Amino acid sequence: MARRKKEPQSVHRKNISSAAEQLFFKKGIENTSMNDIAKEAGYSKATLYVYFKNKEELVGVLVLESMQKLYDYIKLALEKSNDTKERYREICYALVKYQEEYPFYFKMVLEKLKVNFESTHFLPEEKETFLIGERINDLLFHFVKDGITCGEIRSDMEILPTIFSFWGMLSGLIQLATNKEEYIEQRMEKSKMEFLSYGFDMLYNSIKMQGEKE
């Protein structure tokens, strides 16, 4: 078999992680074996272990990448407008986009990633993932704060619990919309996006300064 050209490490890591990503997307993480990934990437199984310590690290890197992307999406969303409601919507759409690109990571963010402060054996990726998570929180924190400052969001909100509630609710909503898309279309005659819009708007009411006209 022809030996590979000398390319920077990163290229191979990218090749592998891209293959993995695709398969994870198609079949889920658990149902994707290192064998599958190797085949998809065009490497031998053993080679995978040259570039990644193990499957966990591979997943970790992918999660990290996805969170970075999520951060970018949200940052961009916030820059699109100064209007709070507008910005809120953009964030929601950012989340939808994110979950369409990284459906399993989306799930993981909700499930697995139990942040373990004590755990001493953080993988480097986990540490970074955690930090990006915090930065995303910051972004949202300021978004809510600004909204309160300019009188568009109720002033009696506690910011942190609000952010977290939104996290949980929005991701739950998006996930349900995705998984039950067909059912929704049949029963409500709404497309997934229409349904989501409805849900997003509904949720916004819960924080909107009362008396304000939409």
Partner DNA sequence: GATGAATGAGGGTTCATTCAT
Partner DNA sequence: CATGAATGAACCCTCATTCAT
Task: Name the DSSP class of 112.
Answer: T
Q: How many residues bind DNA (CB under 7 A)?
A: 27
- Residue 136 has, within 13 A of its CA and on its CB side, a CA count of 25
Amino acid of residue 162: T
Phi, psi for residue 80 in degrees, rounded to 5: -75, -25
100: tokens are: 């369409």
Least distance (Å) from DNA to the CB of residue 57? Answer: 8
Does residue 184 contact residue 190 with C-beta atoms inside 8 Å? Answer: yes
The listed partner (DNA, a second copy, none) that binds 131, CB under 5 to 8 Å by sort, is none
Least distance (Å) from DNA to the CB of residue 137? Answer: 31
Nearer to DNA by C-beta: 114 or 213? 114
Our finding on whether 193 is near a second copy (CB under 8 A) is: no
Beta strands (DSSP E) in 58-167 are: none
Query: What distance in Å separates the CA atoms of residue 27 and residue 200, rounded to the nearest whole number?
Result: 29
Does residue 52 contact residue 20 with C-beta atoms inside 8 Å? Answer: no
Our finding on whether 1 is near DNA (CB under 7 A) is: yes
Among 10, 117, 120, 155, which residue interacts with a second copy (rule: CB under 8 A)?
Answer: 117
Within a 10 A sphere around the Cβ of 106, how many other Cβ atoms? 21
Nearer to a second copy by C-beta: 80 or 198? 198
The listed partner (DNA, a second copy, none) that binds 10, CB under 5 to 8 Å by sort, is none
51: left (phi over 0), alpha (psi -120 to 50) or beta: alpha
Our finding on whether 30 is near a second copy (CB under 8 A) is: yes
Query: What distance in Å separates the CA atoms of residue 163 and residue 173, rounded to the nearest whole number?
Result: 15
The listed partner (a second copy, DNA, none) that binds 46, CB under 5 to 8 Å by sort, is DNA
The listed partner (a second copy, DNA, none) that binds 171, CB under 5 to 8 Å by sort, is a second copy
Q: Which chain residues interact with a second copy by CB under 8 A? A: 30, 107, 110-117, 157-158, 160-162, 164-165, 167-180, 182-184, 186-188, 190, 195, 198-199, 202-207, 210
Residues that bind DNA (CB under 7 A): 1, 3-4, 6-9, 12, 31-36, 43-51, 53-56
